Amino acid sequence: MIGTISLATSLFFALLAAMAYGYVMKVKADRDRARCWGRRSLFGACLSAVVASAYLWAMILGDHFEIAYVANYSSRELPLMYKISAFWAGQQGSLLLWMLVHALASLYLCGRERMTAAGLTVYAVLESLLVILVLAKSPFVASATAVQDGVGLNPMLQDPWMAVHPPIIFIGYALLAVPFAYALGALLKEEAKENWLDPARRWALIAWGFLGAGVFIGGYWAYKVLGWGGYWGWDPVENSSLVPWLLAGVFVHVLHVAKRRPAALLVLHLSVIFTFALVIYGTFLTRSGILGDFSVHSFSGTSIGMTLAVANAVVLIGGLVLLALKAGSLPQGKVYEEYASREFCLLLGALLLVFIAAIVFIGMSMPLFTQLLGKPAAVDTDFYVRTTLPLAIAMCLVMAAGSCLCYGKQAEPFHRAVPAALAVIGFALAFLAGVRSPGLLVLAAVSILLLGETLVSWRRNLLRFGAMAAHSGIALALFAMVLSGGASQSLSQEFKPGDSAQIAGHTVTYEGQAFADDSTMKFYCYRVDGSEVRAMTKLHRNGEDAAREPAIAHMLTGDIYIAPTPPKDTGRMELILKRGRMGMGDLFAYRYDDVTMEDQPDGTMLVTAAIAVTDGETVEHAQPAIIATRDGGTSTPVPVFGGQKRIRLTGISANDSQARLEILPSAEEEAQIAVTASVSTKPFIYLLWIGAVAASLGCFAAMRR
Amino acid sequence: MKRKILLIVLLLAFIGYAGWSFADSVTPYVGIKEAKAATSSSVQVKGLLAKDAPAPHMEGKDFVFTLQDEETGETLLVHYHGTKPDQFDEAHHIVAIGKMQGEAFSSDKLLIKCPSKYEQKK
Query: Would you say A528 and A536 are in contact if contact means Cβ atoms under 8 Å apart?
Result: no
Answer yes or no: is pLDDT of A541 > 70. Answer: no
pLDDT of residue A444: 93
Answer yes or no: is pLDDT of A574 > 90. Answer: no
Kindly state the average pLDDT of the residues A61-78.
84
| Residues in chain A within 8 Å Cβ distance of B121 | 300
Q: Which residue of A has its CA nearest to B112?
A: A296
pLDDT higher at A519 or A168: A168
Answer yes or no: is pLDDT of B6 > 60. Answer: yes
d(CA B56, CA B94): 13
Confidence of residue A375 (pLDDT cuts 50, 70, 90): confident
* Per-residue DSSP letter, A504: T
d(CA A248, CA A457): 24
Distances (CA, A) of A561 to A485, A557, B80: 13, 13, 22
Confidence of residue A296 (pLDDT cuts 50, 70, 90): very low
Record: contact A380-B97, CB cut-off 8 A: yes
Record: contact A492-B83, CB cut-off 8 A: yes
Q: Least CB-CB distance to B26: which of A154, A293, A377?
A: A377
C-alpha neighbours within 13 Å on the C-beta side of residue B82? 19
SS3 at position B11: helix
Record: contact B113-A292, CB cut-off 8 A: yes
Q: Least CB-CB distance to A378: which of B29, B117, B118?
A: B29
Q: What is the DSSP string of A146-191?
A: --SS-----GGG-SHHHHHHHHHHHHHHHHTHHHHHHHHHHHHHT-
Answer yes or no: is pLDDT of A104 > 90. Answer: yes
pLDDT tens-digit series, residues A599-610: 877 767 788 888
pLDDT higher at A146 or B79: B79
Q: Least CB-CB distance to B22: which of A294, A383, A678?
A: A383
For residue B30, give how far its alpha carbon lies from the nearest alpha carbon of chain A (Å): 8
Instruction: Report phi then psi at A561, rounded to 5.
Output: -115, 115
pLDDT tens-digit series, residues A622-655: 888 887 766 566 777 788 887 788 888 877 777 7
| Residues in chain A within 8 Å Cβ distance of B97 | 380
Answer yes or no: is pLDDT of B120 > 50. Answer: no
Burial of A395 (0-12, 13-18, 19+ CB in 10 A): buried
Q: What is the DSSP string of B19-35?
A: HHHHHHHEEEEE-HHHH
pLDDT of residue A100: 94
Kindly state the average pLDDT of the residues A305-310.
78
d(CA A161, CA A224): 10
Rounded mean pLDDT of chain A?
A: 84
pLDDT of residue A413: 66
Domain ranges for chain B: 28-113
d(CA A240, CA A235): 9
Residues in contact with A58: Cβ distance below 8 Å, sequence separation at least 6, in sequence order: none
Q: Does domain B28-113 have CATH number 2.40.50.140?
A: yes
Answer yes or no: is pLDDT of A63 > 90. Answer: no
Give percent of chain B above pLDDT 70. 88
| Residues in chain A within 8 Å Cβ distance of B26 | 366, 377-380
| Residues in chain B within 8 Å Cβ distance of A678 | 83
pLDDT tens-digit series, residues A448-476: 999 988 888 888 888 888 889 999 999 99
Answer yes or no: is pLDDT of A178 > 90. Answer: yes
Answer yes or no: is pLDDT of A297 > 80. Answer: no
Residues for chain A: how many in total? Answer: 705
A328-337 — which CB contacts under 8 Å span 24+ positions?
Answer: A329/A190, A330/A262, A330/A263, A330/A265, A330/A266, A330/A269, A331/A262, A331/A263, A331/A265, A332/A263, A333/A261, A333/A262, A333/A263, A334/A261, A334/A263, A335/A257, A335/A261, A335/A263, A335/A264, A335/A267, A336/A257, A336/A261, A337/A408, A337/A409
Pairing type for strands A531-539 and A638-640 reads: unpaired
Q: Which residue of A has its CA nearest to B3?
A: A339
Confidence of residue A113 (pLDDT cuts 50, 70, 90): confident
| Residues in chain A within 8 Å Cβ distance of B111 | 293-296
d(CA A312, CA A282): 10
Answer yes or no: is pLDDT of A179 > 50. Answer: yes
Structural domains in chain A?
A: 1-158 (1.20.120), 169-368 (no CATH), 491-560+671-685 (no CATH), 573-666 (no CATH)
Q: Least CB-CB distance to B118: which of A154, A295, A367?
A: A154
Kindly state the average pLDDT of the residues A14-27.
85
Kindly state the average pLDDT of the residues B27-41.
78
Pairing type for strands A619-622 and A658-665 reads: unpaired
d(CA A242, CA A308): 19
| Residues in chain A within 8 Å Cβ distance of B114 | 298
Distances (CA, A) of A170 to A93, A120, A235, A564: 11, 20, 18, 34
Answer yes or no: is pLDDT of A301 > 50. Answer: no
Residues in contact with B5: Cβ distance below 8 Å, sequence separation at least 6, in sequence order: none
C-alpha neighbours within 13 Å on the C-beta side of residue A396? 30
pLDDT of residue A360: 92
> Chain A residues contacting B, CB < 8 Å?
72-73, 90, 151-154, 227, 292-296, 298-300, 302, 339, 355, 359, 362, 366-367, 370, 375-380, 382-383, 386-387, 390-391, 492, 548, 565-566, 568, 676, 678
pLDDT of residue A641: 80
Record: contact B118-A152, CB cut-off 8 A: yes
Query: Would you say A203 and A261 are in contact if contact means Cβ atoms under 8 Å apart?
Result: no
Answer yes or no: is pLDDT of A570 > 80. Answer: no
pLDDT tens-digit series, residues A319-332: 888 888 887 787 77
Q: Which residue of A has its CA nearest to B95?
A: A293
For residue A631, give how far its alpha carbon lies from the nearest alpha carbon of chain B (Å): 11
Record: contact B86-A227, CB cut-off 8 A: yes
Record: contact A378-B86, CB cut-off 8 A: no
pLDDT of residue A601: 75
Confidence of residue A1 (pLDDT cuts 50, 70, 90): confident
pLDDT tens-digit series, residues A258-282: 888 888 888 899 999 999 999 988 8
Answer yes or no: is pLDDT of B40 > 70. Answer: yes
Kindly state the average pLDDT of the residues A34-53.
90
For residue B56, give how far its alpha carbon lies from the nearest alpha carbon of chain A (Å): 10
Q: Least CB-CB distance to A548: which of B24, B28, B86?
A: B86
Confidence of residue A212 (pLDDT cuts 50, 70, 90): very high
d(CA A466, CA A180): 23
For residue A163, give how far its alpha carbon lies from the nearest alpha carbon of chain B (Å): 16
Confidence of residue A482 (pLDDT cuts 50, 70, 90): very high
Record: contact A383-B27, CB cut-off 8 A: no
pLDDT of residue A323: 81
Record: contact B17-A390, CB cut-off 8 A: yes
pLDDT tens-digit series, residues A116-127: 888 888 999 999
* Nearest alpha-carbon partner for A135 in A311, A372, A340: A311
Answer yes or no: is pLDDT of A664 > 90. Answer: no
| Residues in chain A within 8 Å Cβ distance of B95 | 293
Confidence of residue A299 (pLDDT cuts 50, 70, 90): very low
pLDDT of residue A181: 92
* Per-residue DSSP letter, A566: P
The residue type at A420: A
| Residues in chain B within 8 Å Cβ distance of A634 | none
pLDDT higher at A603 or B14: B14
Is B58 within 8 Å of chain A by CB?
yes
pLDDT of residue A293: 54
pLDDT of residue B118: 42
Give percent of chain A above pLDDT 90. 24
Kindly state the average pLDDT of the residues B62-86.
80
How far is C-alpha B113 from the geometric centre of its chain's CA atoms?
Answer: 13
pLDDT of residue A448: 92
Q: Least CB-CB distance to B95: which of A293, A382, A565?
A: A293
Instruction: List all residues of chain B from 26 to 55 with a beta carbon under 8 Å from chain A.
Output: 26-29, 42, 44, 46
